[in-house]
Structures are given as structure tokens and as C-alpha cells.
Amino acid sequence: MRTIQQRKKHAVAAPASIAALHPRVPGELSMNTVLANAGGIIQGCFWILTGTLALLTYRHARTTIFQPMRTEVFKRQIDEMTQVLALFVGKGEVELSQDFDIDGVFHANALAMYHRYAKTAFDAEPSEDADLPYSPSNCPRSIVKPEFLKLADEHIISTTKGATPKPAKSRQWDYKHAQIHLTKKHIDYIDSVRIRLANPLLPSRLCTSMQSILKIVDESISTIFDAMDWAAPQMPKKYPDFETFNEASYGWVRAEYIRRLRDIGSLEQEANAISTFVRDYFATDRLLGKNDRQAVDRSESTPQSSSSG
């Protein structure tokens, strides 16, 4: 009887003795801890994989969905740049000056000064049916000096009533060129450049070169003020009588004007800068292979060698 009870006691205490024989090693993780850590690692890998797939999908969408839009913008850029090249590229200084009608603007303003001198000195005027280059129909716009606009604002209207007008005294020639008459051709060409300049599809560097051209043109037109003011005091000595004035020519005024234009930038140089930018923008030289470039070089050099022979 005692033996059976002792055996039961030993059987109940056996697990404690087994656990005592196999103690837990310090730092050893339980099975639940291992499974929890493994689940966290798997979850982290899942989110990393999901984010990577989303990024790759977005990049693929950019190349497939947005590519047609980029192609359309590129086509529009080619069309716009072609129009810009037609305005400037392949033209020299004289041809560009003719396109902006700088000489035509000078002619209209020089003739206006000469007619003003004829009216002041000899009381002579052009015929009423004359088609004057500086008339509003030929020059619908003008540039007026600010000081002359101020004089117009300060004009005083006489309040004297019943006064008998007295004959005007011979006026002294003290001429200042108040306004520059702008021809239709000049206005149209300037407007065509500005319309293309306002296009948001044009690259900023190209717009900068176009603005430089407009700046040179504006300075060239404004120089007419200086040339006319320089020539005006000399006119009484050059044309003391009406007979001399009938044989007048403003070539000497134009020579001074051209001399003053030399201090302004070159239109041709800025036009060449536009051509260089467009060539670099479209990578024209890289689009052609080595053999193609050699063929182009040979074709360009062939006429020169035949003409020299």
C-alpha cells in the first residue's frame, strides 16, 4: 500500500524533476516569440513588395499614359520653332533690318522733320492729296517722348472772348522730334514676333534670344530721336532759302543715324544664337550617324570645289 502511494507521489513530481533537469538557456526564445517575429518580418516584406510594385506601376504608367501627351507637345514645339526659324534664321543684318522696316521708319520720320522745317521756315506744305509716309494711314502707331506728353497735359485753353487774333510772327526754328511714326510693316513684324514669344511651349532660352532681338530693334528705333535732334539745328545753315531746300536730301542725317546704330547690338548675331539653340535642343548632330554627317559634309563641299575648279 505504501509502495503504491509512493509511486503516485513520484509520478506527480516527475514533471518538476524533468524541468529541473532541462533548465531554459538564457536568451532562448519561446516558440510563440519566434512565430510573432516571423510574422512581423513577413508582413514587412509584404508592404515593401507592395510599395515596390506600386512604384514600378507608376513609372510604367508615365511611359505609357503620358507619352502620347509628350509626343503631342513635342510636335507643337517643332511647329512653333519652325515659324521662329523662318523669322530669323538664315538672314543677315541688312535683311533682318528690312524685315523690321527700320529704314522705312527712319524715312517716314526724316520726311516729317523736313516738312515741318518747310512749314516753319518757308510756310510751305505738301499738297493735300499727297500720300505722306508718316500719315496715320501709313503709320498707325507712334512713340511719343514723355516730356511732350507732359506739355500736352499742361495745355491751357484761353478764356478771352471777343479778342481779335493777331498775325503770327515768323517762328524761330527750334525743333525737337516729339514722336516716332511707326510704319505698318514694322508694326506687323513686331507683333508677329511677340505673338510667338507669348507661346508657353517655347523654351525659355529661345525666348531670351527673341527678347534680345526685340530690344535691339527698340533701341534702333529710339535712336531716331537722337539723330533728328542732332540734325535739326543744322538745317537753317544747310537750307537758308527755299531753292536750296527743294534740292535737299537727308542722306547726311541717315549717315549719322547709321553711325549711331553701330553702338547697338547685332541682329544677325542674335539670329545665329537662335539657330544654334534649336540645333542643340533637337540634338541634330547626334540624330545623324557618322556616315550621314560625312555625306552631308561632302554634299556641302562639292559645289565649292566645283566652283573653284
Q: pLDDT of 242-268, one tens digit each?
A: 999 988 899 999 999 999 999 898 999
For the ranges 58-62, 158-162, 270-274, which has the lowest average pLDDT?
158-162
Q: Outline where the chain has alpha helix (H).
A: 2-12, 14-21, 31-64, 67-88, 93-99, 102-122, 146-153, 184-197, 204-231, 235-238, 242-246, 251-261, 267-281, 284-287, 290-308
Rounded distance between C-alpha atoms, residue 194 and residue 191, angstroms: 5
3-state DSSP assignment of residue 240: coil
Rounded distance between C-alpha atoms, residue 199 and residue 194, angstroms: 9
Residue 209 burial (10 A CB sphere; 0-12, 13-18, 19+) = buried
pLDDT, residue 167, reads 40
What is the share, in percent, of the chain residues with pLDDT greater than 70?
A: 66
Considering 142-146, 279-283, 288-292, 295-299, the range whose residues carry the highest mean pLDDT is 142-146
How do residues 134-166 score in pLDDT, each as one tens digit? Answer: 999 999 999 988 776 654 444 444 444 443 444
3-state DSSP assignment of residue 86: helix
pTM strictly above 0.85: no
Rounded distance between C-alpha atoms, residue 148 and residue 19, angstroms: 112
pLDDT, residue 164, reads 45
Taking CA atoms, 34 is separated from 27, 28, 29, 30, 39, in Å, by 12, 10, 6, 6, 9
Rounded distance between C-alpha atoms, residue 245 and residue 5, angstroms: 153
Tell me the mean pLDDT in the region 79-84.
86
pLDDT, residue 309, reads 37
